[in-house]
């Protein structure tokens, strides 16, 4: 079990932000991260940090290994998201939802001072519940405002319906209703997390060594708290056991990667990573696991043929075409729309370009991506990721002069002594790789998507970023009123 | 902001912690009304952040909210294996982490902050 007093998760892929996000509760862990990940670091110093951690007990060692290698884990999520049809599909729907939602939200506001959110939940309120809201608002806001949702028509109704439909699609994408009914929860996120954790295991091995990797894996695999990271890996591990083979993380990575490459344009929800995982595991349990030196491209051809799914090359080509069609639609918007959504459209454009770069590189030598060691050794070839850092509880306190060379500050409080307590920042540099994405525009696009999530999504209402949306609405003279049930 | 007669508040945490909290709340009487409780099936983020969580939505009398609730939450967090709870009102959301130097006063400050309407 990972002791709860320690921060367990230093990342967390956020599909709203076109980059990677790392999180720190304790500024000293941020310092450790910088020390071990800065460009001019001495690898021997990093090894020393790892060895000292190994001697200081399991909990501390796990924490240190997690902090130092979190970038490898998150970089893998970022690249998987750019490359996979799933990641592309999700971002396209999100972009469309944001553009439609931002246009239709005005019709819900329509001169109001209080905006109940999410509007989908608001529209389902019974007359009794609406009456309760009226009374509550009178007490809280000292104003009489009718809580009845407006009746929309014409374009506003169409945009609102399209936005709601988009959120239903997102919900079904992230939580496949079929696999959600299984006795254990198994969702696409589990498969993507497995990919991230395999990258991280490789990175712990490369950076620190064998003993460190064994400790890291033992904690992860035995911890109930880490089940979301390891569910598919534990299933694969039992397959290796049954076939009396030592666990092979490179082969595991090849398997996991195949699962995230289903073609949503043709196979719809049959392309879901969970469905592909279940089918592939069933198949491998019958025909046996591949040999350690098998080439990914050969395996993918075989599995695709035997399981009768769309070849990965075609899935990537189809994804690219749909991306480009979506971009054409955005470029065809009237100029005032293109100006209003400029950062969102530019971010989408750079994402389409990044996905194409990833596709071309992957198809040239699939093993160079799917085998974690090769992926990390060739990091400079892949697309560079903007890096967003969240300091939980605004615990990074420093002067503006010392922060600005490192960060663009997104959210901070100015303290009495003039220093800043930072809660969110974008790093000036990006991860190693080909620079395609503008970090600042990606952050701006994230804020727009967050605002629409806040107004429309009836799930994931505990999103920490919603405070940003709340403040944005407040600046417009609106009180957002969260409907809690 | 003057204390409200009643405050709607949602608590989100591990299933185990929410069960403990609900048991506690049901003993309180009329000052705490449990509106709904159960597992929260939603991922905590829109895609990659799955957690096994549960939530309880309550309506709490203003005097209890600003008084005894901080003690109840503080004690529950200190006693429980779970060290984090998300508290959310219609106006704000906050996370309470039971680190070693967490005090009852800090919990109270957080609870007050999530009923502020803001400027």
What is the tens place of the pLDDT at every residue in A128-164? 999 999 999 998 888 899 999 999 999 999 999 999 9
- Which chain A residues are within 8 Å of B94, Cβ to Cβ? none
The pLDDT of A37-55, averaged and rounded, is: 90
CA–CA min distance A485, chain B (Å): 7
Surface of A (146-165) touching B: CB under 8 A: none
> Of A385, A420, A443, which one is at a domain's C-terminal end?
A385
**Residue A207 placed within a domain:** yes
> In the predicted model, is pLDDT for residue A2 greater than 70?
no
**Residue A482 placed within a domain:** no
> pLDDT tier at A183 (50, 70, 90 boundaries)?
low
**Residue A356 placed within a domain:** yes
- What is the per-residue pLDDT for B47? 33
- What is the per-residue pLDDT for B118? 62
The pLDDT of B10-27, averaged and rounded, is: 91
CA–CA min distance B82, chain A (Å): 7
Q: Are residues A344 and A409 in the same domain?
A: no
> In the predicted model, is pLDDT for residue A5 greater than 90?
no
The pLDDT of A37-60, averaged and rounded, is: 91
**Residue A334 placed within a domain:** yes
- Closest to A92 in 3D by CA, of A15, A195, A200: A15
Q: How far is CA A312 from CA A188, A296, A299, A304, A433, in A?
A: 18, 11, 11, 8, 24
Structure pTM?
A: 0.90
* Contact residues for B99 (Cβ-Cβ < 8 A; gap 6+): A5, B83
The pLDDT of B93-105, averaged and rounded, is: 87
> Of A350, A385, A420, which one is at a domain's C-terminal end?
A385
- What is the per-residue pLDDT for B44? 43
Surface of A (23-62) touching B: CB under 8 A: 25
Lowest mean pLDDT among A56-70, A345-359, A457-471: A457-471
The pLDDT of A327-339, averaged and rounded, is: 91
Q: Are residues A284 and A312 in the same domain?
A: yes
- What is the per-residue pLDDT for A228? 65
> Of A396, A412, A430, which one is at a domain's C-terminal end?
A430
> In the predicted model, is pLDDT for residue B50 greater than 60?
no
The pLDDT of A75-96, averaged and rounded, is: 96
ipTM: 0.86
Q: Are residues A405 and A256 in the same domain?
A: no
Considering Cα of B12, then A25, then A426, then A188, what sign does the dihedral take? negative
- What is the per-residue pLDDT for A380? 94
* Contact residues for B105 (Cβ-Cβ < 8 A; gap 6+): B70
- What is the per-residue pLDDT for A458? 87
> In the predicted model, is pLDDT for residue A1 greater than 70?
no
User: By residue range, what is the domain housing residue A243?
Assistant: 72-109+153-385
User: Mutation test of the interface with chain A: which of B5, B34, B45, choosing the one with the most A Cβ atoms within 10 A?
Assistant: B45
> In the predicted model, is pLDDT for residue A436 greater than 90?
yes
**Residue A370 placed within a domain:** yes
**Residue A278 placed within a domain:** yes
What is the tens place of the pLDDT at every residue in A385-420? 999 999 988 889 999 999 999 999 999 999 999 999
- What is the per-residue pLDDT for A181? 63
A460 with B43: Cβ contact below 8 A: yes
What is the tens place of the pLDDT at every residue in A351-372? 999 999 999 999 999 999 999 9
Q: Are residues A406 and A380 in the same domain?
A: no
Q: Are residues A234 and A278 in the same domain?
A: yes
- What is the per-residue pLDDT for A15? 86
In chain A, the number of structural domains is: 2
Domain architecture of chain B: domains with CATH: 6-113 (3.30.70.240)
Q: Are residues A94 and A233 in the same domain?
A: yes
CB pairs under 8 A between A and B: 111
The pLDDT of B85-108, averaged and rounded, is: 90
Q: Quote the mean pLDDT of chain A.
A: 92
Q: Are residues A328 and A409 in the same domain?
A: no
Report the distance separating Cα B65 and Cα A135, nearest Å.
19
**Residue A146 placed within a domain:** no
- Which chain A residues are within 8 Å of B118, Cβ to Cβ? 470-471, 474
> pLDDT tier at B119 (50, 70, 90 boundaries)?
very low
**Residue A227 placed within a domain:** yes
- What is the per-residue pLDDT for A171? 87
> How do beta strands A20-24 and A420-430 pair?
unpaired
> In the predicted model, is pLDDT for residue A323 greater than 90?
yes
- What is the per-residue pLDDT for A30? 94
A185 with B93: Cβ contact below 8 A: no
Q: Are residues A374 and A397 in the same domain?
A: no
Q: Are residues A201 and A319 in the same domain?
A: yes
**Residue A148, both tokens:** 């009845």
Q: Are residues A267 and A399 in the same domain?
A: no
> In the predicted model, is pLDDT for residue A84 greater than 70?
yes
> In the predicted model, is pLDDT for residue B100 greater than 90?
no
Q: Are residues A365 and A254 in the same domain?
A: yes
- Percent of chain A exceeding pLDDT 90 equals 79
Mind giving me the DSSP string for B29-57? -TTEEEEEEEEE-S-SSSSS----EEEEE
Q: Are residues A295 and A233 in the same domain?
A: yes
**Residue A129, both tokens:** 């519940």
* Contact residues for B87 (Cβ-Cβ < 8 A; gap 6+): B9, B10, B11, B12, B73, B93, B94, B95, B96, B110, B111, B114
């Amino acid at each position: 079990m990972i002791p709860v007093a320690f921060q367990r998760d230093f990342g967390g892929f956020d599909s709203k932000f076109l980059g990677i996000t790392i999180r720190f509760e304790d500024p000293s862990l941020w310092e450790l991260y910088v020390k071990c990940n800065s460009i001019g670091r001495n690898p021997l110093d990093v090894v020393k940090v790892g060895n000292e951690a190994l001697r200081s007990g399991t909990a501390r060692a796990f924490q240190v290994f997690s902090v130092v290698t979190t970038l490898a884990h998150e970089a893998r999520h970022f690249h998987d998201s750019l490359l996979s049809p799933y990641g592309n599909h999700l971002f396209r729907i999100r972009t469309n939802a944001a553009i439609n939602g931002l246009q239709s939200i005005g019709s819900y506001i329509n001169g109001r001072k209080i905006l109940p959110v999410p509007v989908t939940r608001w529209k389902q309120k019974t007359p009794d519940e609406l009456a309760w809201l009226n009374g509550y608002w009178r007490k809280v806001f000292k104003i009489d405002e009718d809580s009845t949702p407006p009746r929309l028509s014409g374009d506003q109704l169409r945009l609102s319906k399209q936005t709601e439909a988009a959120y239903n699609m997102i919900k079904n994408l992230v939580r496949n209703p079929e696999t959600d009914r299984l006795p254990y929860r198994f969702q696409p996120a589990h498969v993507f997390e497995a990919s991230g954790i395999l990258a991280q295991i490789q990175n712990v091995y490369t950076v620190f060594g064998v003993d460190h990797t064994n400790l890291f894996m033992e904690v992860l695999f035995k911890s109930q708290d880490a089940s979301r990271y390891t569910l598919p890996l534990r299933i694969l591990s039992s397959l290796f056991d049954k076939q009396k083979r030592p666990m092979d993380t490179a082969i595991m990575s090849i398997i996991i990667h195949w699962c995230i490459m289903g073609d949503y344009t043709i196979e719809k929800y049959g392309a879901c990573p969970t469905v592909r995982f279940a089918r592939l595991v069933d198949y491998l349990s019958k025909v046996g696991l591949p040999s350690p030196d098998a080439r990914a491209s050969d395996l993918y051809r075989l599995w695709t043929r035997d399981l009768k799914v769309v070849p990965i090359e075609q899935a990537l080509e189809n994804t690219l075409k749909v991306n480009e069609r979506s971009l054409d639609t955005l470029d065809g918007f009237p100029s005032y729309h293109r100006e209003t959504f400029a950062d969102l459209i530019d971010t989408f454009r750079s994402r389409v370009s990044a996905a194409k770069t990833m596709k071309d590189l992957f198809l040239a030598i699939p093993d160079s991506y799917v085998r974690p060691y090769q992926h990390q050794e060739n990091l400079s070839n892949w697309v560079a990721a903007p890096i967003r850092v969240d300091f939980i509880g605004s615990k990074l306190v420093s002067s503006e002069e010392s922060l600005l060379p490192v960060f663009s500050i997104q959210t901070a409080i100015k303290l009495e002594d003039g220093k800043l307590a930072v809660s969110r920042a974008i790093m000036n540099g990006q991860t190693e790789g080909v620079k395609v994405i503008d970090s600042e525009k990606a952050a701006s696009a994230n804020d727009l998507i967050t605002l629409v999530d806040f107004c429309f999504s009836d799930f994931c209402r505990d999103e920490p970023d919603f405070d940003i949306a709340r403040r944005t609405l407040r600046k417009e003279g609106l009180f957002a009123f969260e409907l809690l049930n | 902001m003057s204390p409200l007669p009643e405050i709607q508040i949602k608590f989100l945490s591990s299933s185990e912690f929410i069960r403990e909290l609900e048991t506690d709340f049901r003993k309180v009487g009329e000052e705490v009304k449990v509106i709904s409780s159960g597992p929260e099936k939603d991922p905590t983020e829109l895609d990659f952040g799955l957690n096994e969580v549960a939530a309880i939505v309550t309506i709490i009398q203003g005097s209890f909210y600003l008084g005894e609730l901080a003690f109840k939450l503080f004690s529950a967090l200190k006693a429980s294996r779970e060290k984090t709870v998300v508290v959310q009102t219609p106006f704000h959301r906050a996370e309470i982490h039971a680190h070693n130097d967490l005090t009852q006063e800090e919990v109270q400050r957080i609870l007050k902050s999530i009923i502020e309407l803001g400027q």
